[in-house]
């Protein structure tokens, strides 16, 4: 594993009001290292197939009360459990998928996050997700900086291409990470306030304004997704079942699920998410695979096996086996600094 940390300080040009944030970097590393790094936020079960593995790498920056990171990681099942809610439970996590996607649920509400969407998540809520190989940029923000003390937070807000605030949030990510990644320079001391102001404005922006038609369409989409989620175990669940129940035309239903690859693909994705979440616990055996396949609407274990191989490149029983060698990369690890330890959860927010 290669890792180094650049310490806090003030640039020589004090008058320029630029600061050097604390910075950590890592490359390669073991599954155990990745689990340890993620442990304050999620339980991690990496998917061990060639199609799902990538060489781990990332940057972490801390500046003032904010933490930023950009990570490259492989396929994995993530869970934020009740036991982890005390870690950063008073924070929100704002993330952008530069590439990749995630399928999951938070408080039993289904979600799918895709490339170029921005998600704002309340870290006081449990959730689980199936994440494909991805590059993700994130900001960790104390909630009291952007929400009123007694304000009710949604567990998850996803900003897509049609949301009014999306373009301003993309600019915020572009500007923030460009500044953080600029070599041998500091970042403007105004960055923290700029981030907080922009996030506050984004979440205050009405999602629909006067677009009643779009509000109605999105509400109908959520209702259909809820119905699908509640009926995943049914073998006959399909677009043909949804059409008469919700009174939509085939063309309208196709447009609603176009970004998900269609209704059939959406249903398969939801089934795979739940089945892999179930299998990612300890001890995958044939009986467990058969039970997961049946519970989540696959017609047989063989059908489930084909679906898993098609999407993940391996059999269900092999997805979560530990790799024979702990390193995900054959690169010989080197240390660039004596201060070579990645931060634990408390070090992220303390000096």
Q: Say what the pLDDT of residue 342 is.
A: 62
Whether 5 shows a pLDDT value over 50: the answer reads: no
Please state which of the ranges 92-106, 149-163, 304-318 shows the lowest mean pLDDT.
149-163
pLDDT above 80: residue 205: no
What number is the average pLDDT over the span 303-308? 95
Mean pLDDT of 245-270: 93
Q: CATH 2.60.120.10: which residues of the chain?
A: 2-207
Which residues make up the CATH 1.10.10.60 domain(s) of the chain?
A: 212-318
Q: How much of the chain exceeds pLDDT 90, in percent?
A: 52
Would you say residue 196 has pLDDT above 90?
Answer: yes
Q: Tell me what pLDDT residue 150 has.
A: 82
Residue-wise pLDDT tens digits, 97-136: 999 999 999 988 999 998 989 999 999 999 999 999 999 9
Cut 0.95: pTM above it: no
Residue 328's pLDDT is what? 40
The predicted pLDDT at position 122 comes to 92
Span of 140-149, 259-268, 340-349 with lowest mean pLDDT:
340-349
Residue 82 is predicted with a pLDDT of 82
Mean pLDDT of the chain: 84
* Least trusted range by pLDDT, from 233-237, 241-245, 323-327: 323-327
User: Looking at residue 162, what is its pLDDT?
Assistant: 73
pLDDT at 1 over 70: no
* CA max distance for the chain: 69
CATH architecture of 212-318: Orthogonal Bundle (1.10)
Structure confidence by residue, pLDDT tens digits, 258-299? 989 999 999 999 999 999 999 997 666 768 899 999 999 999
Q: How confident is the model at residue 21 (pLDDT cuts 50, 70, 90)?
A: confident
Burial of 154: CB neighbours in 10 Å, binned 0-12, 13-18, 19+? middle
- Report which of residues 234 and 325 the model is more confident about: 234
| pLDDT at position 89 | 87
pLDDT confidence of 184, banded at 50, 70, 90?
low
Average pLDDT over residues 34-43: 87
Mean pLDDT in residue range 173-194: 85
Is-contact 253 264, C-beta < 8 A?
no
Domain 2-207 has CATH 2.60.120.10: yes
Does the pLDDT at position 207 exceed 70?
A: no
């Amino acid at each position: 594993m290669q890792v180094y940390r650049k310490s806090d300080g003030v640039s020589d040009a004090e008058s320029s009001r630029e600061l050097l944030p604390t910075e950590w970097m890592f490359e390669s590393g073991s599954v155990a290292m990745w689990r340890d790094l993620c442990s304050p936020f999620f339980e991690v079960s990496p998917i061990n197939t060639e199609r799902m593995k990538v060489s781990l790498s990332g940057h972490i920056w801390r500046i003032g009360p904010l933490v930023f990171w950009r990570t490259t990681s492989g396929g994995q099942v993530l869970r934020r459990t009740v036991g982890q809610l005390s870690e950063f439970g008073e924070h929100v996590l704002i993330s952008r998928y530069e590439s990749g996607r995630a399928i999951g649920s938070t408080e039993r509400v289904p979600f799918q996050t895709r490339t170029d969407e921005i998600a704002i998540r309340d870290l006081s809520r449990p959730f689980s997700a199936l994440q494909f190989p991805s590059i993700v940029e994130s900001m960790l923000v104390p909630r009291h900086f952007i929400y009123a003390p007694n304000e009710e937070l949604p567990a998850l807000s996803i900003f897509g291409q049609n949301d009014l605030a999306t373009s301003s949030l993309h600019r915020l990510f572009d500007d923030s990470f460009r500044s953080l990644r600029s070599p041998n320079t500091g970042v403007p001391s105004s960055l923290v306030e700029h981030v907080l102001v922009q996030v506050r404005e984004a979440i205050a922006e009405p999602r629909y304004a006067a677009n009643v038609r779009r509000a109605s369409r999105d509400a109908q989409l959520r209702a259909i997704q809820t119905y699908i989620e509640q009926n995943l175990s049914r073998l006959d669940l399909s677009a043909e079942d949804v059409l008469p129940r919700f009174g939509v035309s085939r063309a309208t239903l196709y447009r609603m699920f176009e970004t998900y690859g269609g209704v059939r693909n959406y249903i398969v994705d939801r089934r795979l998410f739940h089945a892999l979440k179930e299998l990612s616990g300890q001890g995958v055996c044939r009986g467990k695979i058969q039970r997961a396949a049946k519970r989540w609407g696959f017609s047989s274990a063989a059908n489930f096996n084909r679906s898993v191989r098609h999407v993940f490149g391996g059999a269900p029983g092999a997805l979560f086996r530990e790799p024979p060698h702990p390193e995900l990369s054959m690169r010989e690890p080197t240390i660039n600094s004596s201060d070579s330890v990645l931060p634990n959860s408390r070090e992220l927010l303390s000096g």
